[in-house]
Amino acid sequence: MNFSIYGCKKFVVGSFDDEAVLFPAVKKVRAAGYKLHDVYTPFPVHGLDHAMGLRETSLHTAGFVYGLTGTTTALSVMGWVFTTDWPMNIGGKPHFPLPAFIPITFELTVLFAAVGMVLTFCYLCQLAPFVKNTFSTRVRQTICLSWRSK
Amino acid sequence: MHLKYESTLREPLVDGVKDYHQVTEDIISPIEAKPGKLWYIGFFISLVLLGFGAFSVFWEVYFGTGVWNLNKTIGWGYDITNFVWWVGIGHAGTLISAILLLFRQGWRTGVNRAAEAMTIFAVMCAGQFPIFHMGRVWMGFFILPYPNTRGPVWVNFNSPLLWDVFAISTYFTVSLLFWYSGLIPDFATVRDRAKTKLRKLLYGVASFGWTGSTKHWQRHEALSLVLAGLSTPLVLSVHTIVSFDFATSVIPGWHTTIFPPYFVAGAIFSGFAMVNTLLIITRKILGLEDYITIGHIEAMNKVIVLTGSVVGVAYLTELFMAWYGANPYEFDTFYKYRAAGPLGWSYWIMMSCNVISPQVFWFSKMRRNIMVTFVMSIIVNIGMWFERFVIICTSLYRDYLPSSWGYYRPSWPEVGFYVGTFGLFFTCFFLFAKYFPVIAVAEIKSVLKTTGKSYKEKMGKYEAQDVDAFAHDQAHH
């Protein structure tokens, strides 16, 4: 493949069969001042993100925000229905019976957090059913991205 | 980098001499091979059962719920018994994938994929019962709160039955997302080694274009951890809410505060039994004995004896409270119509299957015996089915009004419906075992070097070393 058409960057692709060999290589390449583009692994290698100098993901924070959205949605919809839209007398109980609303509020918190996080994860990693990703397309994309960011 | 190693005293989680490639071969190659004769026979039987179930359901929908033997006092019979039973079975999958992840139990990696699949299929089966109990199922969407032209008339948010709608649908969705997000990298592994065009296409679609980039793995790990954290209270809430269906009513035998913990323990108990039933067969047929070891089976049997005993304590507490509470209706329900009376036989099946027989698992020899485990797993599931039957029917067949007392036995469409859910469950499980990586390949690889047998054997020299010398050596590496 002729990479030079994308600019005058040169790429070196290395292949490793064990993380024990990969880690020193990552350290040395970085220490020598080269920019590491990415490391593709078949399973999560713990500590590799730190070795590559990646920042922590803030997916957790997003999950927290989605969860809060679920909590508010549940409480406000149930509250609005039972106090404003169609107030009903159910066994003489209050129109806003908070303890009885807790189960649904909890379920919606979990549902919103989980669905939101998975969708965000798919968006950030660009994952979708018909995305094609073989090794050669991966390399080509990598080149394109670095060319654009220049 | 690898200061951490696991003591050789701990049983290895992966037997045999394995490297990363061998792990992939062992787990993925059954997907690429033609299924054996046993698979076809099993799949065919499941399809027949599913067909019979579909016919029973058709019969019920066409003629109405009257074809079921439910009557004036027994408004819930086989259907709700089966619903609670299937939901309970699902709980073990979430417990293994979520709670054991938070507790850092390494052995979960061998069994979590299949257990989560079991959860999803079991919840699918469970959902059928309340849906078809509605009778006019085409009105089923009335249970959802949506703005409509009838007022709008809303659902009753105070009703435990509505909480159930939210609990079960959330549980199904979250379990599915958790399971599928774990499957994506493994589907990518199948895709990357696929030889045929069709397999490349299908697993390419299923793997969502996963690359294995380090950043993606970092996010994937974060996602798994948070989903585990969310699923843990979720799984407890689901069976708690199911138990609220009973506990918030004023029927003697149902109106107790012990129900939530008692139901959750029972759910985990039956779920682990079902995991054992399925995995003992799966490991044998797919030749995965190195990954689902006797150690895994023993660990699950320990959970079974614990939760079985918790359930036993709950039964005794109920009996005690029925006497100590000094409520004559409560007392009669337990001592005259549950432990004795026309349906008393079901109570003693429950007691002997759930409380007495699991006590054999106090002995390590029994826990590590495959045949004993398999037979016990079936007994436990029979017992747990009868637990739900006892709770539902023996409280209902003796009403406040003696003139409406009766007996309950199911009609053929009720039995057919139940048998049909077995068909659904096993049809799904057979497809899963053939087309999906039954064990989480990526997760096994990430624990292989600390817990694999051949790697642990190399740790002998470190075990012999004293702590200071070990730390000194490692620091200068």
Please tell me the predicted confidence (pLDDT) of residue A2: 44
Q: What is the pLDDT of residue B230?
A: 92
Q: What is the mean pLDDT of residues B179-192?
A: 92
**pLDDT score at B438:** 92
User: Quick check: B3 pLDDT over 60?
Assistant: no
Domain boundaries, chain B: 20-136+174-449
* Cβ–Cβ gap A107/B166 under 8 Å: yes
Rounded CA separation A104/A137 (Å): 45
pLDDT tens sequence across B389-447: 999 999 999 888 888 888 898 999 999 999 999 999 999 999 999 999 999 999 888 88
Across the range B243-258, mean pLDDT stands at 91
pLDDT given at position A7: 53
Nearest to B158 among A97, A108, A135 (CB): A97
Question: ipTM of the assembly?
Answer: 0.90
Among B41-55, B100-114, B134-148, B461-475, where is mean pLDDT lowest? B461-475
The dihedrals phi and psi of B213, each to the nearest 5 degrees, come to -60, 145
CA distance B469 to B472: 5
Interface probe, candidates B219, B237, B243, B443, chain A, greatest A C-beta count within 10 A: B219
Picking from B65, B92, B73, B67, the residue whose alpha carbon sits closest to that of residue B392 is B73
How does pLDDT run across B359-376, given as a tens digit for each residue? Answer: 999 999 999 999 999 999
What is the pLDDT at residue A145? 47
B220 touches chain A (CB under 8 A): yes
Highest mean pLDDT among A4-13, A16-25, B157-166: B157-166
Residue A1: predicted pLDDT: 40
Q: Backbone phi, then psi, for B452, in 5-degree steps? A: -70, 145
pLDDT band at B212 (very low <50, low <70, confident <90, very high): confident
> H or E stretch including B49?
helix B37-63
Chain A residues whose beta carbon lies within 8 Å of the beta carbon of residue B248: none
Tens digit of each residue's pLDDT (9 = 90 or more) over B283-339: 888 888 888 989 899 999 999 999 999 999 999 999 999 999 999 999 999 999 999
Q: Return the pLDDT at A139.
A: 61
Residue B163 sits at the chain A interface (C-beta within 8 Å): yes
Bond before B152 cis per omega within 30 degrees: yes
Q: What pLDDT, in 10s, does the model give residues A15-66?
A: 888 888 888 888 888 888 888 888 888 888 888 888 888 888 899 999 999 9
Q: Which of B158, B125, B96 is nearest to B420 (CA)?
A: B125
pLDDT for A3: 47
Helix (H, G, I), strand (E, B) or coil at B339: coil
Hey, is A114 helix, strand or coil?
A: helix
A89: exposed, middle or buried (Cβ count in 10 Å: 0-12, 13-18, 19+): exposed
DSSP assigned state of B402: G
Q: pLDDT tens digits for A40-54?
A: 888 888 888 888 888
Nearest-angstrom CA–CA distance, A117 and B278: 31
Nearest Cα of chain A lies from the Cα of B275 at a distance, in angstroms, of 25
Asked whether the predicted pLDDT for residue B14 surpasses 90, the reply is no
Chain B contact set for A43 (CB, 8 A): 20, 185, 217, 441-443, 445-446
Q: Tell me: pLDDT of B378 over 90.
A: yes
Q: Dihedral of the CA atoms A62, A65, A69, A70 (nearest 10)?
A: 70
Inter-chain touch B244–A103, beta carbons under 8 Å: yes
Residue B212 in contact with partner chain A when CB distance is under 8 A: yes
DSSP B334: I
Average pLDDT over chain B, rounded to an integer? 89
First to last CA, chain B: 9
Q: Which residue has the tokens 């008692």?
A: B262
Rg (CA), chain B: 24
Mean pLDDT across B60-76: 90
- Which residue has better confidence, B36 or A121? A121
Q: What is the pLDDT of residue A35?
A: 83
Q: Yes or no: say if A114 and B174 are a contact pair by the CB < 8 Å rule.
A: yes
Token pair listed for B319: 């009996």
Closest CA to B180 of B436, B460, B465, B470: B436
* pLDDT at A5 exceeding the cut of 70: no
